[in-house]
Amino acid sequence: MAVPIAVLDCDLLLYGRGHRTLDRFKLEDVTDEYLVSTYGFPRQFICYLVDLLGATLSRPTQRSRAISPETQILAALGFYTSGSFQTRMGDAIGISQASMSRCVANVTEALVERASQFIHFPKDEATVQALKEDFYALAGMPGVLGVVDCTHVAIKAPNAEDLSYVNRKGLHSLNCLMVCDSRGVLLSAETHWPGSLADCTVLEQAALTSHFETKLHKDGWLLGDSSFLLRTWLMTPLHIPETPAEYRYNMAHSATHNVIERTFRTIRSRFRCLDGSKGTLQYSPEKSSHIILACCVLHNISLQHGLDVWSAPATGHLEQSEEEYEQMESVDSEACRVRQELLLTHFS
């Protein structure tokens, strides 16, 4: 007689059906040092996330037992900051690797739902003016509303036939377009673009371009490197500077634009799941894009809480822009006029 085989939940085997929630780990039972070393963030920050996401993570499910929001958040932070579903991580909070994976998915979606709350351009005039002044204080570049660049994050191959995610280095990746302010706070993050697309193509198709083409920002511009085309709202370096004013412009542009590179390094240092040291993100492009965006949201929240890691050293293998040194020639005469006026007014 055949014996039926049941698929059992590891948590059920360990803890029994009587538990309604899986509260085996208590924040108050450990030190801040332990939380930072294991999950990447201190107690106050984690408690804020519990308050922010708790209602979403407590949604009714078909499962007989629910994992508490606190445990779900710890599991997700452990993955984001370490880049792996290590057994010891699940053991530390008392859940299986399968449950770890479900927690990461739940927290990721909860953070993505709140992306527009934490990642956006300022809307009131006073904040916009303060943004420009902060950028001007860096290197004397006026009118800057943000610095923009792309960075690649490695993902697993979706399938053998899909070459749209293969970048110029032959690796599968997502090309992520981001804008930040002078402190590294992200103002825009589009994380879903296939790695085969050049930076200039990503920008052409991005929501960011639609936003600025509507002339919502008539008195300012973004700064982008030479992989982008010059536009009236996007100032790029001069390919071959010849005059002292052009050299001064390029130097100020480079010093200001460097903020986005530092921001990429900060995100890579804090969220090791993105830096490539633990391998590629083992998810579909869509889920990988959501994980990247969730980390961007956490990056902004961490800066709001004063958790600045500007000084963190560069680590790992997060792919930088592949078109960084590719010079793009603009055919926009109005954009050339705007840049020339900027040169004459501020750098001559």
Question: How many CA atoms lie less than 13 Å away from 3 in the CB half-sphere?
Answer: 1
At 310, is the secondary structure helix, strand, or coil?
coil
What pLDDT is recorded for position 135? 97
Q: What is the pLDDT of residues 44-66, one digit of tens each?
A: 999 999 999 999 998 665 454 57
At 272, is the secondary structure helix, strand, or coil?
helix
* H-run or E-run covering 148: strand 144-154
Query: Of the candidates 256, 65, 260, which has an alpha carbon nearest to the alpha carbon of residue 178?
Result: 260
pTM exceeding 0.85: yes
What pLDDT is recorded for position 3? 41
- When pLDDT is cut at 50, 70 and 90, the band that residue 245 belongs to is very high
Higher pLDDT pick, 324 / 260: 260
Distance of alpha carbon 295 from alpha carbon 193, whole angstroms: 16
Distance of alpha carbon 122 from alpha carbon 147, whole angstroms: 14
What pLDDT is recorded for position 86? 59
Distance of alpha carbon 102 from alpha carbon 184, whole angstroms: 30
- When pLDDT is cut at 50, 70 and 90, the band that residue 288 belongs to is very high
Distance of alpha carbon 210 from alpha carbon 227, whole angstroms: 19
Distance of alpha carbon 109 from alpha carbon 114, whole angstroms: 9
* Strand-pair category, 144-154 with 319-320: antiparallel
Q: What is the pLDDT of residues 75-134, one digit of tens each?
A: 999 999 988 765 556 666 777 888 888 999 999 999 999 999 999 999 899 999 999 999
Write the DSSP string, 182-229: TTS-EEEEEEEEETTS-HHHHHHHSHHHHHHHTTS-TT-EEE--TTS-
- 46, 77 contact by CB (below 8 A): yes
Distance of alpha carbon 191 from alpha carbon 182, whole angstroms: 21
Q: Is the pLDDT of residue 309 over 50?
A: yes
| End-to-end CA separation in angstroms for the chain | 92
What pLDDT is recorded for position 311? 46
